Amino acid sequence: MFYADDEDQEAFRAEIRRFAAKTLAPHYQSDDKAATFRRELALDMAGMGLTGLRIPEQYGGQDATAVIAGVAAEEVGRADFNATYLIINTALISDIIVRNATDEQKAAWLPGIASGETVPCICITEPGHGTDAASLELKAVRDGDGWTLHGEKTSITLGMASDRAVVLARTGGPGARGVSAFWVDLSHPSVTRAPFDDLGSRAIGRASLHFSGTPVGADGLIGNEGDGFVSVMQGFDYSRAIIGLACLGAAQASLDEALQWSRDREAFGKPIGTFQGVAFPLAEQATYVKGARHVCYEALWRKDQDLEHSAEAAMSKFWAPKLSAEVIHQCLLTLGHLGYSTESPVGQRLRDVIGLEIGDGTAQVSKLVISRSLLGRAFAP
């Protein structure tokens, strides 16, 4: 099995790493302190094709593989972890639209995402329903040829900044088959937003959105009525691997800094890296990071080959964020007082990656998917 990037992937990785270091990294900490989303960020990333990675070329996108989307997330995660949410959101939402929307809908919706003019979000979680998304209560009520939306979505990534949203709403009876997906204009006055004051990822504007009779035309239904839950959940099967690589990018950046510090810092007349107590924990973390990267890229490779990848994506989602928090924590300890200072980005990375131990599927749900794959559904929880 060949584990290295091919020539095109290697060139793409180098290009994105240069862009991220020059354009994104300088804003990582200042955006966090301001706790605001800069619209320039979407345009800068669109200029590199990063918001159109999974969009066909005819709609202004790159038509990139899932593996390339993972490379982009990993390299951007090294420089500005929170900028990866644009890659995660646009890749996931574009995939949902490409697989389920009509040609007319694709032509109307995808170019704006690719150009960075439309910042999208996905609205699933509700105050009473997170993991149990099939039980959501936000209603889509028939109104002429279209619908009106009534209810609340919460913990929405980029909720304060987004222009449009994929919204899951109940159009029928209980359970997953009563749920449909809609493309919704969030600028309508019937949509109100309330921001969260978060521990980390403050720049992404996580929010609650309340829909008070928000209109959606007949052309806003994505796919068939009642198919929304299944079509959206299928997208998470690979976006979770992209999330894993975003976290590992932040972990690798911290590891690189800790390794360099271990060469530069001296104690008792020699570099601290010569002491096993310093070197061995870093060696362990580097080993774990490499292993987790392979799991993530296998999930994305399997996606590109049209192979089953739910278990690998679930492994990526529960392991990589948890591992990244542990790696960054160890790096902070290695850096000592410098790592504990807010002048260092290490502490912010730690706060930020913890959010993805929660968002987009908990570890418990991931382990449920994995156990069912291993044991068979009849013999698993």
One domain for residues 238 and 359:
yes
Q: What is the pLDDT of residue 334?
A: 97
Q: Longest Cα pair distance anywhere in the chain, in angstroms?
A: 80
CA 32 to chain centre: 17
Let me know if residue 374 belongs to a domain: yes
Sign of CA dihedral 26, 28, 30, 34: positive
- End of a domain among 118, 137, 170? 118
One domain for residues 69 and 102:
yes
One domain for residues 49 and 111:
yes
Let me know if residue 142 belongs to a domain: yes
Which residues in the chain show pLDDT less than 70? 1-2
Number of domains in the chain: 3
One domain for residues 146 and 197:
yes
One domain for residues 248 and 219:
no
Sign of CA dihedral 58, 302, 69, 197: positive
Let me know if residue 2 belongs to a domain: no
Contact 323, 299 (CB under 8 A): no
One domain for residues 127 and 198:
yes
Q: What is the pLDDT of residue 2?
A: 67
Tokens 């260092």 correspond to 344
One domain for residues 243 and 369:
yes
One domain for residues 218 and 257:
no
Residues 266, 221: Cα–Cα separation, whole Å: 62
One domain for residues 66 and 131:
no
Q: Is 32 exposed, middle or buried (0-12, 13-18, 19+ CB in 10 A)?
A: buried
The domain that holds 32 is classified in CATH as 1.10.540.10
One domain for residues 282 and 145:
no
The domain that holds 197 is classified in CATH as 2.40.110.10
Q: Which residues contact 61 (CB under 8 A, 6 or more apart)?
A: 49, 52, 53, 54, 55, 94, 110, 114
Between helix 276-304 and helix 310-335 the angle, nearest 10°, is 160
Let me know if residue 1 belongs to a domain: no
Let me know if residue 65 belongs to a domain: yes
One domain for residues 187 and 320:
no
The model's pTM: 0.95
Let me know if residue 323 belongs to a domain: yes
- End of a domain among 70, 95, 118? 118
60 closest CA partner among 80, 83, 90, 89: 90
49 closest CA partner among 60, 58, 38, 65: 60
Q: What is the pLDDT of residue 292?
A: 98
Contact 75, 13 (CB under 8 A): yes
One domain for residues 189 and 237:
no
The residue range of the domain holding 202 is 121-226
- End of a domain among 118, 136, 159? 118
The domain that holds 244 is classified in CATH as 1.20.140.10
Q: What is the pLDDT of residue 1?
A: 59
Residue 303's φ and ψ, nearest 5 degrees, are -60, -45
* Partners of 166 in beta bridges: 122, 183
Q: Is 8 helix (H, G, I), strand (E, B) or coil?
A: helix
Q: What is the pLDDT of residue 330?
A: 98
